[in-house]
Amino acid sequence: MALFEKKNAFQKFIDSITMAVYDNPELGPEFLDQLEESLVMADVGIDTSAKIIEKLNEVINYHHYTREREIRRELAKIVEEIMDKGERNRMADEYPLIILMIGINGGGKTTTIAKLAYMYRQQGKNVMLAAADTFRAAAAEQLQMWGDRTGVRVIRHEEGTDPTAVIYDAIQSAKANDIDVLICDTAGRLQNKVNLMKELEKMSKVISREWPEAARENLLVLDATTGKNAVSQAEEFNGITDITGIVLTKMDGTARGGISITITDEFDMPIKFIGVGEKMEDLVPFDAHEFVEGIFEEDE
């Protein structure tokens, strides 16, 4: 099953390939300009779009392509090369594993934590959650609710307390109870909140000090429907901590999708998961080939 359904609004870009070919049968500069504009409209960044078009132009000239099917196939290859980060697209498979979840409020971070907890539980792993978002009202209660649903213990403190202290206590408890995967929530920090960014740095230092032998993943959760705002968040957060991967949420038909191509290109960040729905099973491990195939596959 393709990761990216054809109902997604990125289909408008696919349709534009056909239109561009028919409007410009010689596949000259006007064709490439039209295609580049369509990429930008699909939320692919300007620089990334230009890179894709430049590579496509070289292939077209070399092979003398004229048909839509050929253009579509070569575009798919170019996009897959950009998005395929090899082993980096996969989660660490060493345990114990600490996953630090990062992202602004409303981006789907809490539900992604629940889905990750469910996924690891299905794999037979012992999982624990750390409710280190102590700034947002009812954040710990919300995480506790998901912990109860997935059968996972949650370490939490009172609202307004030191979030790093939650991380510290969670690590001690995880070590004492042979936990395989510790998933840590963090405040829904906006990139212009300097104090929250410093708190994130503090958390990372405590993790490294208290459980240095644990494998680490720092996952940035981005709402795919926010387009360029997601790019801004990726840039800001990447400057504060070592982001090991992206989780793109709300890729269930409303996002244009190009943002995923932009982030993997501009920041060399691998995508680890895509959220494609509300169910616990709707967190899909990213596969560049399947993803691109889902975009560019031809209608039956």
Q: Could you tell me the CA-to-CA distances from 250 to 41, 84, 240 in Å, in that order?
A: 18, 21, 25
d(CA 76, CA 56): 10
Radius of gyration for the alpha carbons in the chain, expressed in angstroms and rounded = 21
The pLDDT of residue 1 is 40
| Block mean pLDDT (10 aa), the chain, length 300 | 47 64 68 85 88 93 82 90 95 97 88 96 97 86 93 92 94 97 84 69 92 96 85 82 90 69 93 91 92 70
107's CB contacts (< 8 A; 6+ apart) are 188, 221, 222, 223, 226, 249
Question: Which H or E run contains 271?
Answer: strand 271-275
Q: Encoding tokens for residue 91?
A: 């989660």
Q: What is the pLDDT of residue 232?
A: 84
Give the span between the Cα atoms of 300 and 298, in whole angstroms: 6
The one-letter code for the residue type at 299 is D
Q: What is the pLDDT of residue 86?
A: 95
* CA dist., res. 57 & res. 218, Å (int): 37
Burial track 275-293 (b if 16+ CB lie within 10 A, e otherwise): bbeeebeebbebbbeebbe
Is residue 101 within 8 Å of 113, Cβ to Cβ? yes
DSSP string of 202-264? Answer: HHHHHHHHH-TTSEEEEEEEEEGGGTHHHHHHHHHHHTTS---EEEEE-TTTTS-SHHHHHHH
How many whole angstroms separate alpha carbon 44 and alpha carbon 51?
Answer: 11
Q: What is the largest CA-CA distance in the chain?
A: 68
Residue whose token pair is 């408008």: 12
Q: What is the pLDDT of residue 12?
A: 59
Task: Give the sign of the dihedral formed by CA 62, CA 265, CA 1, CA 11.
Answer: negative
Hey, what domains does the chain have and what are their CATH numbers? 11-86 (1.20.120), 93-243 (3.40.50.300)
Write the CA distances from 199 to 22, 99, 196, 217, 246, integer angstroms: 55, 16, 5, 17, 20
Query: E-strand spans in 96-214?
Result: 97-102, 127-131, 153-155, 181-185
Residue 15: predicted pLDDT: 66
Res 250: pLDDT? 84
